[in-house]
Amino acid sequence: MTERPYWIAAGTVGWGAIVLIKAAYLPQFDQYAHVGPGLMPTVVGAGLVLLGLLLALQIRRGIPFNAQGAEDVNDAHVVSRPALALAIAACALPVLAMQPLGFVLTCTGCFVLVAAAFKSHAWVKNAVIGLVVSLVCWWLFRKLGVQLGGLLPIMGV
C-alpha cells in the first residue's frame, strides 16, 4: 500500500497561504529600495503554495516516502505509538511547566518521560538521576553565566 500523506501538501499550502495573506497587508514596493517589506513574503508564500500543490501532484502519482535512516533505529522501522506519545509529552512539558516549576523540576520530568519512551521504567531511579543531572546542569550553567531562572519559581526561590 502506498501511503498518500496529502495532509503534508495541505499544510504546506496552508502555511504558504498564511504568509501570502499576511504579506498582502504590507506594501509590496518601496520608493527608495524598490523592494517593499511585503515583496519577499509574497514570493515565499506563493512559492510555498506552488510547492505544496506540486507535492500533492506527486503524492497522487504515488511517489514513495521512505523514512530516513538514523542510529539506534530498528531496521524494520516499526513505530511504537506509546513511546512516541511519551516523547512528545516530554517535549511539550517545558511549555507548561518551565515558568511555574522552574528549570530543575521541569527537566527532571522531561528526563523521566524520555527515559520511559526509551523503555526504561525504573521510575524512581530515573527521577533521581534526572534530578541530579538537572541540578548539576542548572548549577554549572549558572556559574558559566547562562540565565536559567530560579530553583523553584513558584515558591519564589
Partner 1 sequence: MTGLLQGFAVALQPQNLMWCFVGTLLGTAVGVLPGIGPALTIALLLPVTVYLDPTAAFIIFAGIFYGAMYGGSTTSILLNTPGESGAMMTALEGNKMAQNGRGAAALATAAIGSFVAGTIGTLLLSFLAPPIAELAFIFKPQDYFALMILAFLSVSVVMGTSKVRGFISLFIGLSFGLVGIDKATGLQRLTFGIPDLLDGVEMTVVLVSLFAIGETLYVASRFGLHKPNLNPLAGGVRMTKEDWKRSWKPWLRGTFFGFPIGALPAGGAEIPTFLSYTVERKLSNHPEEFGHGAIEGVAGPEAANNASAAGVLVPLLTLGLPTSATAAILLAAFQNYGLQPGPMLFINSGDLVWGLIASLYIGNLMLLILNLPLVGLWVRLLFIPRPYLYAGILTFSLVGIWGASNSVVDLAMMFGVGLMGYMMRVYDFPIAPVLIGLILGPMSEVQLRRALAISQGDPMALISTPFSALLMAIAFMIVAVPAVVHWHRTRKIEPMDPTQG
Binders in 120-139 for partner 1, by CB under 8 A: 120, 126, 129-130, 133-134, 137
Q: Least separation, in Å, of the C-beta of 24 and partner 1?
A: 12
Q: Which is nearer to partner 1, 75 or 155 (CB)?
A: 75
The interface with partner 1 within residues 69-108 (CB under 8 A) comprises 69-81, 83-84, 86-88, 90-92, 94-95, 98-99, 103, 106-107
Burial class of residue 12 in the structure, from the number of CB atoms within 10 Å of its CB (0-12 exposed, 13-18 middle, 19+ buried)? buried
Q: Which is nearer to partner 1, 70 or 124 (CB)?
A: 70
Among 6, 24, 58, 123, binds partner 1 (CB under 8 A): 58
**Given its phi and psi angles, is residue 46 left (phi above 0), alpha (psi -120 to 50 degrees) or beta?**
alpha
Which residue type occupies 18?
Answer: I
Q: Which is nearer to partner 1, 37 or 152 (CB)?
A: 37
Contact by Cβ (8 Å): 118, 67: no
Q: Least separation, in Å, of the C-beta of 152 and partner 1?
A: 15
Q: Least separation, in Å, of the C-beta of 58 and partner 1?
A: 6
Q: How many residues form the binding site for partner 1 (CB under 8 A)?
A: 88
C-alpha cell at 89: 509529552
End-to-end CA distance of the chain: 56
CA distance linking residue 16 with residue 45, whole number of Å: 4
